[in-house]
């Protein structure tokens, strides 16, 4: 016959074992739920990636790439040019560099260097006049043109010539240029002579100040002050 103490110990041991088994079951159930949730999240991410790959670039990215580079000014006005009967031009002819070259070429043909910007825009088939204004603002900033009125500019950059070509001088300009060159040569010679005298004077002052024999005579007497004043 077992004692009451042993029976109580066995009951407590059984209760403890049952409690541990229940906790293990709860832990297993929670792990299974976590696994299911992780599988659902990974499935959703795969669907999003596939959708993005199928859709391709968005509308915003397409609009951004269209406005990059030299084509920024080109999108506007193409329909307008086709309505006016002008043939649309390519990207190379519409770039700002090409338009600047054409504008300078147009200046070659203008009499007295006066250019009406409205006429230039029509001749060059430019629908956006702000591009002509961009060019004239730069040329005015570097001093090659000046504005005579709102839409009329004057070329003051001298005569046009091919790269490496000689400048064509008007009658009398050659003699004037020769005199200016001779005056420039004389002034440069005089400047070199003055620089030489300045170096001699600085060296003389340095020799006097650094000579030890001159230290004992480096003072002024009262008579020196009176003679210098009166």
How much is the pLDDT for 27?
Answer: 74
Task: Indicate whether 148 belongs to any domain.
Answer: yes
Task: Indicate whether 132 belongs to any domain.
Answer: yes
Task: Indicate whether 123 belongs to any domain.
Answer: yes
Task: Indicate whether 162 belongs to any domain.
Answer: no
Higher pLDDT, 42 or 194: 194
Task: Indicate whether 161 belongs to any domain.
Answer: no
Structural domain of 204:
168-210
My answer on whether 144 and 173 are in the same domain is no
Reply yes or no on whether the pLDDT at 1 is more than 90.
no
Task: Indicate whether 225 belongs to any domain.
Answer: no
My answer on whether 148 and 180 are in the same domain is no
Task: Indicate whether 177 belongs to any domain.
Answer: yes
Reply yes or no on whether the pLDDT at 81 is more than 50.
no
My answer on whether 145 and 108 are in the same domain is yes
Task: Let me know: does 92 contact 111? Beta carbons within 8 Å.
Answer: no
DSSP class per residue in the chain: ---HHHHHHHHHHHHHHHHHHHHHHHHHHHHHHHHHHHHHHHHHHHHHHHHHHHH-S-HHHHHHHHTSGGGGGTSTTHHHHHHTTPPPP-HHHHSHHHHHHHHHHHHHTSGGGEEEHHHHHHHTT-S-HHHHHHHHHHHHHTTSEEESSSSEEEE-S-----TTPPPPPPTTHHHHHHHHHHHHHHHHHHHHHHHHHHHHHHHHHHHHHH-GGGGGG----HHHHHHHH-
How much is the pLDDT for 130?
Answer: 84
Higher pLDDT, 139 or 169: 139
Reply yes or no on whether the pLDDT at 156 is more than 70.
yes
Query: Which CATH number belongs to the domain containing residue 132 in this structure?
Result: 1.10.10.10
How much is the pLDDT for 166?
Answer: 57
87-107 mean pLDDT: 71
My answer on whether 191 and 139 are in the same domain is no
Confidence grade of residue 72 (pLDDT, cut at 50, 70, 90): very low
Task: Indicate whether 147 belongs to any domain.
Answer: yes
Higher pLDDT, 90 or 29: 29
My answer on whether 107 and 139 are in the same domain is yes
Confidence grade of residue 67 (pLDDT, cut at 50, 70, 90): very low
Reply yes or no on whether the pLDDT at 196 is more than 80.
yes
On average, the pLDDT of the chain sits at 71
Q: How many domains does the chain have?
A: 2
Confidence grade of residue 176 (pLDDT, cut at 50, 70, 90): confident
């Amino acid at each position: 016959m077992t004692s009451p103490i042993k029976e109580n110990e066995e009951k407590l041991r059984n209760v403890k074992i049952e409690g541990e088994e229940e906790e293990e079951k709860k832990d297993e159930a929670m792990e299974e739920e976590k696994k299911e949730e992780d599988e659902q999240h990974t499935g959703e991410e795969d669907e999003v990636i596939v959708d993005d790959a199928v859709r391709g670039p968005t509308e915003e990215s397409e609009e951004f790439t269209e406005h990059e580079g030299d084509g920024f000014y080109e999108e506007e006005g193409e329909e307008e040019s086709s309505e006016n009967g002008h043939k649309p031009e390519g990207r190379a002819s519409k770039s700002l560099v090409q338009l600047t070259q054409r504008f300078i070429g147009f200046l070659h043909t203008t009499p007295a260097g006066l250019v009406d910007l409205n006429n230039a825009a029509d001749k060059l088939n430019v629908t956006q006049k702000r591009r002509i204004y961009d060019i004239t603002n730069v040329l005015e900033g570097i001093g090659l043109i000046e504005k005579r009125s709102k839409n009329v500019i004057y070329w003051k950059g001298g005569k046009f010539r091919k790269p490496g070509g000689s400048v064509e001088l008007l009658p009398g300009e050659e003699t004037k240029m020769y005199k200016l060159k001779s005056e420039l040569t004389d002034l440069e010679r005089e400047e070199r002579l003055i620089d030489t005298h300045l170096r001699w004077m600085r060296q003389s002052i340095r020799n006097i100040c650094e000579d030890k024999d001159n230290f004992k005579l480096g003072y002024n007497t009262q008579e020196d002050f009176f003679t210098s004043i009166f």
